[in-house]
Amino acid sequence: MSKLISILFLLFYYSHSYSQLKNPDFRNINNGIFKAGETFEWLMYYGPIDAGTARLELKDEGRIVNGRKVLHAVGIGKSQGMTDWFFKVRDRYESYLDADGVFPYLFVRRVDEGGYLICQDYKFLQQNNQVDNGNGKIFDTPQYIQDMISAFYFARTIDFSGAKKGDVFTVNTFVDDTIFPVKIRFVGIENIEIKLGTFSCMKFHPVLQKGRIFKDEDDLNVWITNDVNKIPILTKADVLIGSIKMELRSYSGLCHPISKVK
């Protein structure tokens, strides 16, 4: 699979007009937040049931685009235990993102959830503020639009140090051929205890649309480490039927000390 994706990456970029890629004036973010080699794994629960795992890894495979370093983020989600018997999940998400500008060049999505399949290869034409969905359609987008994975890394570069309760932060993403502004509302600072220990965290409410799977717009809560790393420690969601929780199980390769409370 990795070799296939690498071939796709090369074909997507060098089978198009090279003249479109010359000398782009891309942004540079002073990013010392994350680096290649960083890895996370979360446990996912549906009610009391241990439902699955999610893993995210950031790699440096020596790729260069437009004279700029490219990092490769790979996210794997899969069901396990009893959940795997009646609703098997095998998801793979990949993003090739600019190391200095923290925006994507290519997004690859392979989803198999109980037989429901999604196959996407999005090419981000950042120099034109466009996305090619790989199926003959090109969409105009805001500058530096993110994909589902690169948005995670970009959000970690946001400075929350001066955030006040109620402040809303927005990251524009491209999801399922649609521009989707991901909005999170700052709630405050809390200490959160998980199996790995107790951590000082920033609490956020992602701004949601009520009535679909959530009863209330505050039914989804995310706790992110109150440090430079900004790692999601715990996510809790009250859905129309039951509840879902995602808890950090392991981490490695961090750039900075984590906000663990001794």
What's the pTM?
0.89
Has residue 261 been placed in a domain? no
**CA–CA gap between residue 196 and residue 165 (Å, rounded):** 27
Contact status, residue 63 vs residue 97, Cβ threshold 8 Å: no
Contact status, residue 110 vs residue 118, Cβ threshold 8 Å: yes
Has residue 60 been placed in a domain? yes
**CA–CA gap between residue 24 and residue 98 (Å, rounded):** 12
Has residue 259 been placed in a domain? no
Of 67, 55, 81, 60, the residue nearest 13 (C-alpha): 67
> Which tokens in the block code for residue 181?
């502004």
Has residue 50 been placed in a domain? yes
> Which tokens in the block code for residue 111?
């989803």
**CA–CA gap between residue 99 and residue 110 (Å, rounded):** 23
Has residue 99 been placed in a domain? yes
**CA–CA gap between residue 252 and residue 137 (Å, rounded):** 39
- The per-residue b/e assignment along 8-18, b for 16 or more CB within 10 angstroms, e otherwise, is bbeebbeeeee
Has residue 167 been placed in a domain? yes
Domain span including residue 147: 2-252
Supply the pLDDT for residue 207: 80
pLDDT in tens, the chain (262 residues): 544 554 455 445 544 433 344 556 899 996 789 999 999 999 999 888 899 999 999 999 999 988 899 999 999 999 998 889 989 999 999 999 999 999 999 999 999 998 899 999 999 999 999 999 999 999 999 999 999 999 999 999 999 999 999 999 999 999 999 999 999 999 999 999 999 999 999 999 988 654 444 556 667 899 999 999 999 999 998 766 778 899 999 999 999 999 999 7
**Pairing state of beta strands 89-98 and 104-113?**
antiparallel
**H-type alpha helices, the chain:** 2-14, 81-86, 150-155
Has residue 67 been placed in a domain? yes
Tell me how many domains the chain contains.
1
**CA–CA gap between residue 183 and residue 205 (Å, rounded):** 9
Has residue 143 been placed in a domain? yes
> Which tokens in the block code for residue 40?
């996370």
**Pairing state of beta strands 197-206 and 220-225?**
antiparallel
**CA–CA gap between residue 208 and residue 184 (Å, rounded):** 9
**CA–CA gap between residue 116 and residue 89 (Å, rounded):** 9
